[in-house]
Amino acid sequence: MKFSKLSQLFLVSTIGLLVATLLTSCEITTIDYVFVASSQGSGSGTAGQIQTYDADSETGALRTGQPAVASGGSSPVAMAVSSDYQNLYVANQGNNSVVHFAIAGNGALTQKDAITTSTTPVSLAVNQANSYLYVVSGTTSATLTAYALSSGTIGAATASEPLSLGTVSSSYGGDTIIPTGVFALANNEAVYVSAYDKSAYNPGQSTSSRANPGWVFAFAVSSGGALTPTSGSPFKAGVKPSGLAAEPTNRFVYVTDFASNELIAYSIQAGYNLNFLLNGPFKTGNEPQALAIDPRGLYIYVANSLDNTVSAFIINVGTGTPSTVSAATVNGSTSTDTTPVAVVVDASLGRFVYTANHLGNSVSGFELNPSSGALGATVATPYPSGDQPSAIVSVPNGSHSVQVVTP
């Protein structure tokens, strides 16, 4: 018996719905809570929301957990979690806010406090000591700001550093720098920010600068939270760096280049300066938007927003060189739903990878082979989310151990 394409699509959709229903109705052992920030409605002024999912310890499958909560503003774009997994921070671009939520043992979120930033927040990071929240903001001028944290509560700004190319050349000092990501080293001693020069890279529009477009800014953190640019900062980073991360031993930094379809790798030198790895950069899928490193520091996963794939890399622990995981699928990529813009590895087991799919209105799940880094789809993936999800984080269920790497 032959089916039309429409009939086949209906059958597949029906089967997926039935499987998802069974997952929801059956008891699972929750290993992690996965939080996803998205827009609740289609209008630009509508409130954002944070959805909670329970992740099954055996399969990695997600089901709806605690009720969704308002993000505290509109257009949430980034989230960060404290290292003790008791606090969640959300950046809302619609009202220039950063909102703090307490995370209960059952995954429930309770809004606690909030701050308003002077310019549009773009990305967040919390240091390992949970003493500072780092916020990069700005759409016409870029700034890194450090806020003191006390038991999760956001306090006063302790440092604020503009991101400028004036130290590279005085003629570039007025260029428009657009921040894209921020990452705090596990040892609490340095912070890195990825950004690009819109004056030099502005597709379809005129440019006014001959500077290199992509950059990573490096700052040493001193007592009291003061930020000091390292002696060599900023460092060239391709054309349009879109995200960055460091492995947990504080030796290597990795940056995705959205415009060049590459992963750029650096070794961390004395004074927290960066040097390119000589055998890089490394090919990704098209328009890599974000990356995540597993808790053991062995694998890198890159969300390719145009390809709707995840690229998998294994890190050479001696040299930091990332190599494509050939066992994942062809070219080391695995299909997601439409336009993955954020990716996370589960914090508890380090066995599952999830992407927030901006135009798919969904979350895609993958099981990570801990021996090879290869990925396989989880049961019933993708999982429905709110409209246009933009950020995703993972928090362990409190009754389970967490993967830890000591620098």
**Cα separation values, 175 from 166, 200, 209, 241, Å:** 9, 8, 7, 16
Give the Cβ contact number of residue 46 at 10 Å. Answer: 14
Q: Which residue, 325, 386, 397, is CA-closest to 356?
A: 386
**In this structure, what are the phi and psi dihedrals at residue 245, rounded to the nearest 5 degrees?**
-160, 155
CB 46 within 8 Å of CB 57 = no
pLDDT of residue 30: 87
Looking at residue 357, its amino acid is N
CB 395 within 8 Å of CB 81 = yes
Reduced to 3 states, what is the DSSP secondary structure of residue 25? helix
pLDDT of residue 18: 45
pLDDT of residue 40: 67
Reduced to 3 states, what is the DSSP secondary structure of residue 51? strand
CA distance 150 to 139: 29
Q: What is the mean pLDDT of each run of 10 residues along the chain (407 residues)?
A: 40 43 58 93 69 95 96 96 97 97 96 97 98 96 96 97 97 97 97 98 96 98 94 98 96 98 98 96 97 96 97 96 74 81 96 97 95 93 97 84 50
CB 119 within 8 Å of CB 136 = no
Quote the Cα angle for 344-346-348, to 5°.
150
CA distance 392 to 51: 10
Q: Which residue, 59, 5, 72, is CA-closest to 32?
A: 59
In the chain the first and final C-alpha atoms are separated, in Å, by 61
Quote the Cα angle for 237-137-396, to 5°.
85
pLDDT of residue 47: 86
| Eight-state DSSP code of residue 198 | T
Domains defined for the chain, CATH in brackets = 27-396 (2.130.10.10)
pLDDT of residue 29: 86
**In this structure, what are the phi and psi dihedrals at residue 270, rounded to the nearest 5 degrees?**
-55, 140
pLDDT of residue 324: 93
Q: Tell whether pTM > 0.85.
A: yes
What are 301's strand-pairing partners?
A: 292, 312
- H/E segment holding residue 383: strand 383-384
111's CB contacts (< 8 A; 6+ apart) are 69, 70, 72, 99, 100, 101
- H/E segment holding residue 399: none
pLDDT of residue 23: 45
Q: Is 130 left (phi over 0), alpha (psi -120 to 50) or beta?
A: left
